[in-house]
Amino acid sequence: MHIEALYHESRGIYAYPVAADTLFVRLRTLKEDACRCNVYYTERYDYSDRLNIQGMELLGSDELFSYHGAEIRIRSKRFKYFFEITGSDGEKVYYTGMRICREFPPNTLTGGYFQYAYINEDELPDIPEWVRDAVFYQIFPDRFCNGDKSNDPPNTKQWGTVPGSSDFFGGDIRGIISKLDYLESLGINAIYITPIFQSFSNHKYDIVDYYSIDPCFGTLEDMKELVRLAHEKGIRIVLDAVFNHCSVKNRFFEDVAEKGADSRFSSWFFVEEYPVVKYPVANYETFGENIPDMPRLNTCNPEVQEYLIGVAEYWTRELDIDGWRLDVADEVSHSFWRNFRKRLKAIKKDLFIVGEIWYNASDWLMGDEFDSVMNYPLRQALVDYMAFGETDSENFVLSLKKIFFSHRRYAPDYFLNLLGSHDTPRIMTVCGGDARKLLLSMAFMMTFTGIPMIFYGDETGMEGGGDPDCRRAMQWDMQVGQVEILEKVKRLISIRRSIPALSYGKTEFPDANREKVFVFKRVLESQKITVLINAGEERTEIVLDGDTVRYKSVYDLWNEERFMCRDDGSFEIGVGEFGFRILLAE
């Protein structure tokens, strides 16, 4: 046994409460050791020889390691514990907080057991359950629909022309209102809207006035009407919080630019020296690298925290919205987000807080900051596998497992999964215009762990390269091929929302992946779903586990003749074309 590979710590993603008296513990071992693991545990102040023992579940493996987990329960909420690991070679060791040994460790408070001192109420998972049933739709207001031409900005471009970085197309809040029936028919029940507050740009990520809705988008009453009508249809509304930076024309920064160090807002920003120099190279910190129009805010400053959190509190109350998406969340101070969560959840307990993090987000998902993050790592893995064909199914699964094992066990259930956004090329373009690849990507997203989100227009196969091309005006006059894509996406969303296991089930990866055929299961009590996706161009055969003979076809979205279940339980998948199938246990 390779004892140097053993790893656990009594915090973070390795030990955390899942109920008022229940702790989840995770242990890492070397994959090739094929270990069996037990956890011994007792009350923190119990010094007797009476120890509880519980076998640990093998959660799965990545390239190098295996991960084992168990839920342990003590009514006092105080824990001390250690692990017993038995390797495939028969070697047995005990892993405590102090050492790895071959003798059964004594039970004392200071004897080196791992300890979780006490489960406090504010450490428990507190994520709104409505999110598990959600299918999100992201809207970039200027490009979705023009419902009121009277508020169009000067030089508004003709709808559908190629967008430039500074162009306006006239989309607005009344346009979104006019398309609520469309979204409802699509199956959408949650909308994430990029910034709506006053700004001189089309994207509104450089906010001038946090307390005003941009007049090009409409009025406060328009926004209240949108939320009210959406709620009547069972559709939630999530807005964009841009608190990392603001506009160079924001009154706070203008005061600093005018008065220099004498400005009472000088500590709200990071100015290197005075006077303030904006162009060509800013002498203050900005969003990104030298973007003078977006000065970076000092979110460690208590005054800045109070002002910005007050903004979120105001709009949450005024509009009765259902959540906030947090822009550039990883550059804002942790203390800010902890205060943000406490104060916003006090207003609306089931408010959904989702951060923009493009990599491992475990530090923000410990229960005191975000409920969720935008799952860009999953998007990249899917694009590499499905669109570019750069990875096979085995490596794709490893990428997915890495996301799972890098976070608390429940966290991926709430991740906002996406194929594209206003910051990425369109999925149809990434797929080289191949509708089959787009639909298979959609099929994966609608059946996999997490919350699916569609970027406006992706449901019809809209194309577009990087920013600003990915922000084209929504194409409402659809071609025949787009209508066909739309109908299949509708069916996928219907499947997602009609099968509880796809929203609430545990995800399993049976050892049945072959080259470009990807298989996974969603299991919820007696309901077992097997999803088979063929991302290759050739006929492929796979054999599932012994449960295979108990499966029957429930949903087969296209090319039904390609999927043949044989008497021996094997499946023939794919005849020169992409394919997708869902199987439901009888």
pLDDT tens per residue, range 163-197 = 999 999 999 999 999 999 999 999 999 999 999 99
Which pair of structure tokens corresponds to residue 458? 């992706």
Asked whether residue 306 falls in the same domain as residue 292, the answer is no
Residues 335, 242: Cα–Cα separation, whole Å: 16
Nearest to 51 by CA among 43, 63, 62, 42: 42
pLDDT tens per residue, range 270-290 = 999 999 999 999 999 999 999
8 Å CB contact between 515 and 396? no
Last residue of a domain, one of 374, 408, 430: 374
8 Å CB contact between 437 and 411? no
Residues 582, 580: Cα–Cα separation, whole Å: 7
Q: Residue 550 above 90 pLDDT?
A: no
Q: Residue 484 above 50 pLDDT?
A: yes
Q: Residue 473 above 60 pLDDT?
A: yes
β-pairing verdict for 517-524 and 527-534? antiparallel
Residues 416, 427: Cα–Cα separation, whole Å: 16
Report the CATH number that the domain containing residue 202 is assigned in CATH.
Answer: 3.30.750
Which pair of structure tokens corresponds to residue 310? 């007050």
Asked whether residue 304 falls in the same domain as residue 215, the answer is no
Residues 402-439: b if buried by 16+ CB within 10 A, e if exposed: ebbbbbbbebbbbbbbbbbbbebbbbbbbbeeebbbbb
Asked whether residue 361 falls in the same domain as residue 304, the answer is yes
pLDDT tens per residue, range 357-389 = 999 999 999 999 999 999 999 999 999 999 998
pLDDT at 574: 53
Q: Residue 446: inside a domain, yes or no?
A: no
Which pair of structure tokens corresponds to residue 514? 């072959």
Q: Residue 433: inside a domain, yes or no?
A: no
Q: How confident is the model at residue 548 (pLDDT cuts 50, 70, 90)?
A: very low
- Non-local (6+) Cβ contacts of 404 within 8 A are 59, 60, 412, 449, 507
- Mean of the pLDDT values across residues 455-479? 97
Nearest to 70 by CA among 40, 115, 106, 107: 40
8 Å CB contact between 64 and 398? no
Q: Give Cα 279 distance to the centre of its chain.
A: 37
- Cα pseudo-dihedral 455, 460, 466, 467, rounded to 10: -60
pLDDT at 515: 76
Asked whether residue 46 falls in the same domain as residue 113, the answer is yes
DSSP state of 384: I
Asked whether residue 151 falls in the same domain as residue 219, the answer is yes
Residue 273 bears catalytic tag: no
Higher pLDDT, 364 or 554: 364
Residues 342, 266: Cα–Cα separation, whole Å: 27
Residues 551, 22: Cα–Cα separation, whole Å: 35
pLDDT tens per residue, range 393-414 = 999 999 999 999 999 999 999 9
Asked whether residue 252 falls in the same domain as residue 353, the answer is no
Q: Which residues is 94 bridged to in the sheet?
A: 84, 101
- Non-local (6+) Cβ contacts of 176 within 8 A are 139, 141, 144, 145, 147, 191, 193, 226
Residues 134, 415: Cα–Cα separation, whole Å: 11
- Per the rule left: phi > 0, alpha: psi between -120 and 50, beta: everything else, 515 is left
- Mean of the pLDDT values across residues 29-51? 94
pLDDT at 585: 64
**How many domains does the chain divide into?**
5
Residues 6, 94: Cα–Cα separation, whole Å: 10
Q: Residue 81: inside a domain, yes or no?
A: yes
Q: Residue 427: inside a domain, yes or no?
A: no
Report the CATH number that the domain containing residue 249 is assigned in CATH.
Answer: 3.90.400.10
CB hemisphere CA count around 485 (13 angstroms): 24
Q: Residue 577 above 70 pLDDT?
A: no
8 Å CB contact between 360 and 399? no
pLDDT at 549: 36
Asked whether residue 117 falls in the same domain as residue 9, the answer is yes
- Non-local (6+) Cβ contacts of 115 within 8 A are 10, 44, 79, 80, 81, 97
pLDDT at 546: 53
pLDDT tens per residue, range 202-256 = 999 999 999 999 999 999 999 999 999 999 999 999 999 999 999 999 999 999 9
Instruction: Say which of 327, 413, 458, 459 is annotated catalytic.
Output: 327
Q: How confident is the model at residue 545 (pLDDT cuts 50, 70, 90)?
A: low
Asked whether residue 115 falls in the same domain as residue 43, the answer is yes
pLDDT tens per residue, range 90-140 = 999 999 999 999 999 988 766 689 999 999 999 999 999 999 999 999 999
Report the CATH number that the domain containing residue 48 is assigned in CATH.
Answer: 2.60.40.10
Report the CATH number that the domain containing residue 523 is assigned in CATH.
Answer: 2.60.40.1180
Asked whether residue 254 falls in the same domain as residue 280, the answer is yes
Asked whether residue 310 falls in the same domain as residue 280, the answer is no
pLDDT at 571: 66
pLDDT at 540: 72
Nearest to 198 by CA among 184, 211, 185, 186: 211
| DSSP code string of 300-351 | TSHHHHHHHHHHHHHHHHHH---EEEETTGGGS-HHHHHHHHHHHHHH-TT-
Q: Residue 552 above 80 pLDDT?
A: no
Asked whether residue 254 falls in the same domain as residue 151, the answer is no
Residues 239, 322: Cα–Cα separation, whole Å: 8
Q: Residue 272: inside a domain, yes or no?
A: yes
Last residue of a domain, one of 319, 354, 374: 374
Residues 409, 390: Cα–Cα separation, whole Å: 28
Last residue of a domain, one of 213, 233, 253: 233
pLDDT above 70: percentage of residues in the chain:
93
Q: Residue 423: inside a domain, yes or no?
A: no
Q: How confident is the model at residue 537 (pLDDT cuts 50, 70, 90)?
A: confident
pLDDT at 49: 85
Asked whether residue 357 falls in the same domain as residue 254, the answer is no
Residue 327 bears catalytic tag: yes
pLDDT at 222: 98
Residues 555, 558: Cα–Cα separation, whole Å: 9
Q: How confident is the model at residue 516 (pLDDT cuts 50, 70, 90)?
A: confident
Q: How confident is the model at residue 563 (pLDDT cuts 50, 70, 90)?
A: low
Q: Residue 174: inside a domain, yes or no?
A: yes
pLDDT at 426: 98
- What's the domain range around 192? 135-156+168-233
pLDDT tens per residue, range 317-360 = 999 999 999 999 999 999 999 999 999 999 999 999 999 999 99
Q: How confident is the model at residue 575 (pLDDT cuts 50, 70, 90)?
A: very low
pLDDT at 561: 46
Instruction: Say which of 62, 142, 148, 356 is annotated catalytic.
Output: 356
8 Å CB contact between 450 and 413? yes
pLDDT at 565: 61
Q: Residue 197: inside a domain, yes or no?
A: yes
Average per-residue pLDDT for the chain: 93
